[in-house]
Amino acid sequence: MDARDTEFYQKVGGAFSESMASVFSMLTGRDFQMSAAPGELLQLPGIAALHGGPTIVVKAHYQKGLSGALAFTLPLPEGTMLVDLMLGGDGAPADELVGDSKDALAETFNQVMGSANQTLSDLAGETFAIANVEISAVAPEAGPLGELLGTGGFQDVALATSQDTLKTTIHMLLPDMLLQQMKRKLGLAEAPAAPAEPPPASSVAAALTAPPRQAPAATGPVVDAGNLDLLLDIQLPVVVRMGQTEMQMGELLKLTPGSILELNRSADAPVELLVNGKLIAKGEVVVVDGNFAFRITEIESRANRIRSLG
């Protein structure tokens, strides 16, 4: 493994192990410790042998910045123990993962992916985001795993997980196409091939004597900065809005702890960022260092933001 590969696995493994430990600790109220180590290139039989029993497969599909799907595998008993801790139990294992337990694990890995992708986005200078997370429990056989993961080799990154009552290893599986994309985005791909032969001298001379191209005219509204610097210290209320609804006074008075309010926004719709009551950006809720955070995916132009705050 060369220096670029070592740095890649340190950055990617570190991003996911730190994110996972933070999210698991926050959701269970218990302290989780995690460390990452690069494994070997695995084919389906090798993946089937990782846990030696029923396996939970978590598959996260990228929709921005990267293409392809990242997968995680963990033993079914330890996976159900983790969910039981999140739901307020003592970490008892179960024979299957269904219903609320499956939904809870899916939301957990959604938060893990959001936090880890934020770290990778900062390193790459480009936004990475997933579309959805799929959770499946399968027998430890190459056939069922192949239906979920597809064929081909997967680079394994082992995430050793420990807590007072739960110790296991979660395996992160990177298909080759996604692995190479991540390396390029993080500037850790293999060195490019040698440059082609220089063009003939006549071509160079022609290029030097050609008239310069006219720069395209600027388009869009021009914002007069003027005395804008005088306003930059003004404090404004910032609100992250997941949705809203209207209620009658009688319904409001009937609310009790545990009541559920249905909002006028689908679960996969972007969350809105309002400044001084004006919508200026959209994005998604993520977890950063154990705290909820808002990651921007769409934003108004600088001119429109200035005008909306007037």
Q: pTM, whole model, 2 decimals?
A: 0.63
Question: What residue numbers bound the domain in which 160 lies?
Answer: 3-185
Which tens digits make up the pLDDT trace of 67-103? 899 999 999 999 999 999 988 888 999 999 888 888 8
Instruction: Count Cβ neighbours within 10 Å for each residue of 247-280 and write b for 16 or more, e otherwise.
Output: eeeeeeeeeeeeeeeeeeeeeeeebbbbeeeeeb
84 in a structural domain:
yes
209 in a structural domain:
no
Which tens digits make up the pLDDT trace of 97-155? 888 888 889 889 999 999 999 999 999 999 999 988 999 998 878 788 888 888 888 99
* pLDDT band (50, 70, 90) for residue 244: confident
Which tens digits make up the pLDDT trace of 280-294? 888 888 888 778 888
Q: By percentage, how much of the chain surpasses pLDDT 70?
A: 83
- Decide: 47 and 173 in contact? Cβ < 8 Å: yes
| DSSP letter (8 states) at residue 212 | P
Same-domain check for residues 179 and 240 = no
- Decide: 148 and 138 in contact? Cβ < 8 Å: yes
Q: What is the mean pLDDT of the chain?
A: 83
Q: Which residue has the higher pLDDT, 66 or 204?
A: 66
CATH code assigned at 240: 2.30.330.10
Q: 143: part of which helix (H) or strand (E)?
A: helix 142-149
Same-domain check for residues 74 and 148 = yes
The total domain count for the chain is 2
211 in a structural domain:
no
- Decide: 57 and 136 in contact? Cβ < 8 Å: yes
Same-domain check for residues 144 and 291 = no
Same-domain check for residues 16 and 108 = yes
DSSP-assigned states of every residue in 249-293: HHHHHT--TT-----SS-TTSPEEEEETTEEEEEEEEEEETTEEE
* pLDDT band (50, 70, 90) for residue 259: confident
275 in a structural domain:
yes
Which tens digits make up the pLDDT trace of 3-16? 888 999 999 999 99
Which tens digits make up the pLDDT trace of 160-211? 999 998 999 999 999 999 999 999 999 988 655 555 566 565 554 555 555 5
CATH code assigned at 13: 3.40.1550.10
Same-domain check for residues 173 and 248 = no
DSSP-based three-state secondary structure for 261: coil
Same-domain check for residues 167 and 46 = yes
261 in a structural domain:
no
| Residue linked to tokens 């005088």 | 230
* pLDDT band (50, 70, 90) for residue 253: confident
Same-domain check for residues 55 and 173 = yes
Same-domain check for residues 28 and 159 = yes
Same-domain check for residues 233 and 166 = no
Q: What is the rounded distance in angstroms from the CA atom of residue 226 to the CA atom of residue 283?
A: 31
Strand partners, 287: 292
Same-domain check for residues 67 and 147 = yes
DSSP-assigned states of every residue in 59-74: EEEEEESS-EEEEEEE
On the CB side of 250, CA atoms within 13 Å amount to 0
- Decide: 54 and 138 in contact? Cβ < 8 Å: yes
